[in-house]
Each structure stands twice: as C-alpha cells, then as structure tokens.
Amino acid sequence: MSTALTEPANDELSALIDQEFREFKEGSIVNGTILDIRPQVVIVDIGYKSEGVIPVSEFEDEEIEAGDEVEVLLEKLEDDEGMIVLSKEKAAHKQNWDKIVGVYEAGGLVRGKVKAAVKGGLMVNVGVEAFLPGSQVDIIPPKDLSEYVGNVYEFKIVKVNDDRKNIVLSRREVIEAERSERRQKFLTTVAVGDKVTGQVKNLTDFGAFVDLEGMDGLLHITDMSWGRVTHPSEVLRIGQELEVQILEVDREKERVSLGLKQMTDNPWADIQSKFPIGSEVSGKVTKLLPYGAFVEIERGVEGLVHVSELSWVKRINRPSDVLELDQEIKAVVLGISEEEQKISLGVRQLEPNPWDEIEERYPIGAQVKGEIRNLTAYGAFMGLEEGIDGMIHVSDLSWTRKINHPSEVLKKGDEVEAVVLSIDKENQRVSMGIKQLDSDPWSDIEGKFKVGDIVKGTVAKIASFGAFVSLDGDIDGLIHISQLSEEHVERVKDVIKVGDEVEARVIKVDKLERRIGLSIKAVSYSEDQLEKESQSFESLRPASDLVGLEQAFNLAAFGNAPEEPEEWSPSSEDDGEAK
C-alpha cells in the first residue's frame, strides 16, 4: 500500500522538476546567486541542476561577494564539462539594447559618454556601443574630435540595425531642436527696442551674426557705429559678448535685426550746432585714401578732408604725402549733410588764399623775375613765389623765331624776366611772356625789308619744300625749293646746307602772315622778271607747297606742331620736360 502511494508522488515530483528545467532557455536572462568567487571565475547558481561560471573580468568594476543577486544571460545549458555558460555583460548588453530600441521607437533621447575618436566620428557608450558621425557632433563640424572624448552628452538615435547591432547617434539634432525651441520662445517674447545680450558668432563683409541663445541676429555694418566702419572686424571679434538693441523682428521668416550704435546717443542729432560751418575743429586722422583723409572730430563723427582742400598752391597727389595715421590736425568745417552723415573739412582754409590778392602782387603788364621750374612741350613754368608759377607759352618766347620746344632757348634753373599777360584766379593760372619785353619787329617790317631788296643771311633749317634763312633783326625768310635755282631741284640739301651763307632777293613780304619770301635765282632778275616771279611765288597757296612761316618752321623741325593740352598745371612734373 505504501508502495502504491510513493510511486505517484515520485512521478509528480519528477514532473515538477522537469517543468522547472524546461523553463530555462538559452538566450534568456535569469536571476542567479553568487556562490563562490575564485581567481578566474565566479560561480553562480541559477536554480538549475548545475552551477554556472562567469569570468571574473565581467565584475572588475564592481565589488561583489558570495550571496549577491545578479542578472545573467543563459548562453548554454551545458558545455563540454557539463557546466552552464553564463554572462553578466551580455545580460546587461541585451537589456540595454532592448532599452535603446525602445527609446529609438519612441523618438526619445539617450545619454552617453564619448569613449574614443575614430575615423569619421566618435564611439559613444550609451549602455551599448554606438557611433556618432563627425557631421553630427555639432551644428558646425569640429576640427578636433578628440576634445569631445570623456564628455557626457545627450543624443538622438537616428539609426538602429538589429541584425548587425549597429547604432548611429546625432548630437547635432539635439542641439538644433533645443535652439529651435529657444528661437521660438525668443521670437514670441522679444519686441523692437528691447536690449539683449549675445555673442558674436560670425563676421562677414556686410555685418556680424550674433547668437542670442539659439537665435541668430544680424548686426549690419551700418548699425555698428555712428562713425565710419569699413569692415566689422574693426569693431568686433568672434566670441565677443555684447549688448545690442532689437531693431526689427520678422517672426514669419525668423529674422532679427540688431543695432549696436543705437545703444548710445546719436552724435549727429545736433551736429550743425556743435560744428557750425566755418568753425575750426581738431581731430585725429583715422584713414588715408587716394582722394582724401578721414578725421575723427568727435567719437562717432568723422569728416573728410579732400585732397584738393589740403593746400592752396601745392599740388598734393596723395594725402599720405603730407599726413600720417593718428596725426592730430586742425581743419575748418566747409559743409555738413546731416541726412547722409557727412562733414566736409578743409586744411588750407586755415591760411589765407594767396590767389585772393594775386592781381595786386602781379598786375597785368608788370615785369617780374623768376626761375624756370619746369619745361613742357607747350611752354615753360616760371616760379613767382612758393606754390605759384607763371606759364610762358612757347608762342610767347619770340616775336620772330618759331620755337618748337622751350628747351631750344630755356633750361630748368634759368633766371629770366617776363611780363604778366593775364591772370585766371578761378583756375589759378598766370600767363607770362618773354617776347613782350621787346617791341614786335614785325610792326615796322616794311621799313626793314621791301620786295626787290638784296639780303644776306645764314641757312638755319632745311625742309623738303625749302630752306629757312636767318636775316638781320632775328627774322627768318623762306627760300622755296622752286627759288633755289633756274634748274629743277630734286632735293633742297643737294643745293644748300645748314650754315651756308647765302645772298637772296626779297620777293614777298607778308606782315599779316609774318613771312618773308626769298629767292636765290631772282638775285639778277630785272624789275619785270622780279614782278613775274613775285606773282608766281604769291600763287603758291599755303595748303600746297608754301605755308605760313610759323607752320613751315614747325614742319621743318617736327612735321607737326605739338598741340597744347586743354588744361595745364604750373607744378606738373610729368608734362614732357625736355631732356
């Protein structure tokens, strides 16, 4: 009877034991109790028929002792030695992986510590190992990824590959989301006129971008200072903290315009009362440009001294020739444009204008002495006083000689006497003449030379159409090629040469054209022959073979007269000085 009762009881117990063993599945996480801690392994009891072992290295960061409860992963129910294979690390990894997948599916954030910098990004421990690409580290990809190692951040999980157990993170999306939230909050609370504090984030040619706790505001270059700013880097630097004023808010486009100069009073508000036109001011040279110099006469207020306003008489090509940066100078206010915030200044107005009384010092007709300072193709400049020259045109050097270039009779440094012919105060010009020191010999030319006279002279110049002969009284006559010989002359130089002494007959005297026609072949002509030759000579028109004496001389020397430029300057040093 006892035997019958025992058998069912044993069967029931065996069934319960088998059921409990069947619940242990490989790959599942189970609870266990530490039985023993040995040098290489830790013995753990999970309630199975045999104990399991876990490498002691999996507990190196923990203090454990026998009796402690642990969660482990059941890798194998039985190895070659009949032992259960367990892993504490894999249990934790599986739990963390499941948690990460849950966070990813829910769109949440995960916190982790950057472990190392690798190619293309960073490795991060978020309970499991994850990869953070370099482009997702920050809004602006950093140059040195190693500076992030060891730091703890929050990340968004952007990709999970369950098969490969790969996780990709993004810190950039977290930052952008935070900035977007702060930006929306900023846009809903800020108003025009508010003063806010920000940090200079970036500088461009047209302004600076200021970070206002997630909201980027534009500080335009024109709103940085009441004074002139060429580039934002003159006023600001990246990373600088500054207080600015809200000038405009566009909530639809999420744009904010900022002002720095608006934090101080506008110095241009009462500028005309502070600096009346004609008043004398002092200031510091802040910038030198080819066309003028900027002078700061008050903080935020600069005036321009144009290069033409530096001297009454000196030709200054560049302000840097006479001024230096940071130099303290005095000037006179010439004009103010409050609307354009511009002030015109002048330095020369501090001294009297020597041209105001120029006619009193150099009356028309006065004879003055001076030094030749410069020679040009069209005349010579004669120094009258410091900064003022008189111009002697090439046509005013001689009554009788055709002078093609002033270097024929003058050179730099010569002391000469001349007559004041005219004064143009507006254009600051004084015209002088040397020939006006004597009377015009052509005024009574009929008393000196008459048609039919036999004259002697020296050949001065040779041209293709004839020869010029210097006569008494510094007057030249022209022997046309047709008047050299009874024979046909192919080339003038075949018959006559410069320096030859010749005897010729006057066949034409033209006071109006200032020319005297001579003839060698007519020396022995009778009165009748002379009259015919004179008429023949007269028939030569200036447009053909015979030209006016002045033009002919010019053709003989240069082919064509140099044209006088439309404008001239007495101190110009690059007008073609004769060598």
- Confidence at 3, pLDDT banded by 50, 70, 90: very low
Rounded Cα distance, 322 and 309, in Å: 12
> What is the distance of C-alpha 167 from the center of its chain?
50
For 77-91, 308-322, 367-381, which range has the lowest pLDDT when averaged over its residues?
Answer: 77-91
Q: What are 378-401's pLDDT values in tens digits?
A: 999 998 988 889 999 999 998 877
Q: What are phi and psi of 248, to 5 degrees?
A: -155, 140
User: Nearest to residue 376, comparing CAs of 521, 574, 560, 143?
Assistant: 574
What is the average per-residue pLDDT within 311-322?
A: 87
Rounded Cα distance, 577 and 411, in Å: 10
Question: Does pTM top 0.95 for this prediction?
Answer: no
Domains of the chain (ranges; CATH) run 25-91 (2.40.50.140), 107-175 (2.40.50.140), 190-263 (2.40.50.140), 272-349 (2.40.50.140), 358-437 (2.40.50.140), 450-547 (2.40.50.140)
- Confidence at 177, pLDDT banded by 50, 70, 90: confident
Q: What are 456-511's pLDDT values in tens digits?
A: 999 988 988 999 998 887 788 899 998 998 888 899 998 899 999 999 999 888 88
Tokens 């046509």 — which residue?
A: 395
Is the separation of the CB atoms in 84 and 123 below 8 Å? no
Q: Which amino acid, one-letter code, is at 433?
A: G
pLDDT of residue 305: 94
- Confidence at 441, pLDDT banded by 50, 70, 90: confident
570 pLDDT above the threshold of 80: no
Tokens 């060598």 — which residue?
A: 579
> What is the distance of C-alpha 205 from the center of its chain?
10
331 pLDDT above the threshold of 90: yes
346 pLDDT above the threshold of 80: yes
Task: Provide the percentage of residues in the chain whose pLDDT is more than 90.
Answer: 26
pLDDT of residue 576: 37
Q: What are 17-73's pLDDT values in tens digits?
A: 554 544 677 667 777 787 777 887 777 777 777 777 777 776 776 777 777 777 776
> What is the distance of C-alpha 65 from the center of its chain?
76
Q: Which amino acid, one-letter code, is at 372?
A: I
Highest mean pLDDT among 8-12, 228-232, 361-365, 552-556: 361-365
User: Nearest to residue 190, comparing CAs of 247, 265, 240?
Assistant: 247
Position with higher pLDDT, 532 vs 261 = 261
What is the average per-residue pLDDT within 157-185?
A: 82
The Cα-based distances of 201 to 207, 210, 242, 505 in angstroms read: 11, 5, 11, 96
- Confidence at 572, pLDDT banded by 50, 70, 90: very low
508-543 burial: b if 16+ Cβ within 10 Å, else e: bbeeeebbbbbbbbbeebeeeebeebbeebeebeee
427-460 burial: b if 16+ Cβ within 10 Å, else e: ebbbbbbbbbeeeebbeebeebbebeeebebebb
Contacts 24+ apart (CB under 8 A), 522-529: 522/483, 523/454, 527/452
Extended beta strands in 495-560, E state: 501-510, 515-519
277 pLDDT above the threshold of 60: yes
- Confidence at 290, pLDDT banded by 50, 70, 90: very high
Partnered with residue 84 across adjacent β-strands are 52
Is the separation of the CB atoms in 160 and 104 below 8 Å? yes
Contacts 24+ apart (CB under 8 A), 409-412: 410/372, 410/375, 410/380, 411/372, 411/375, 411/578, 412/372, 412/373, 412/374, 412/375, 412/577
pLDDT of residue 304: 94
